[in-house]
Amino acid sequence: MERIILFDGDCNFCDQSVQFIIKRDPEGQFKFASLQSDRGQELLKKHNAPEDIDSFVLIEGQQCYFKSSAALRVCRHLKGWWKLTYALLLVPRPIRDLVYEIIARNRYKWFGTKESCMLPSQEERRRFL
């Protein structure tokens, strides 16, 4: 099953999250694309994503997940103890998404924005769409 993560390419927190996922996904299950990229926009339209999505999306097969559901579903596939966070899906989504929204709304203020892109290794480059 294809798993694609769409992320805010301008956000330091989002970039660090992508690096975090890459380090804990040695099998390379996840592919990545910036929300701002043509490919990212194409995927959002294909999956009828809400127009106000601006931080983190997981496309898993034909399903599209947003906010805390996307983040927790990603954690489920990571190496190590991170997969245990998947149990947080038992918390009602409005509560999970409230916490997610607070972080997402403040991510530029708390973590800043990127002035340049990272230079991925040759192996990592294959994971970006």
Q: Looking at residue 96, what is its pLDDT?
A: 95
CB atoms within 10 A of CB 22: 18
Tell me whether residue 26 is exposed, middle or buried, using C-beta atoms within 10 angstroms of its C-beta: 0 to 12, 13 to 18, 19 or more. Answer: exposed
Token representation of residue 35: 């929300």
Give the mean pLDDT per block of 10 residues along the chain (129 residues). Answer: 90 86 93 92 92 89 94 94 91 94 87 65 73
Q: Which domains does the chain have, with CATH numbers?
A: 3-113 (3.40.30)
Give the pLDDT score at 66: 93
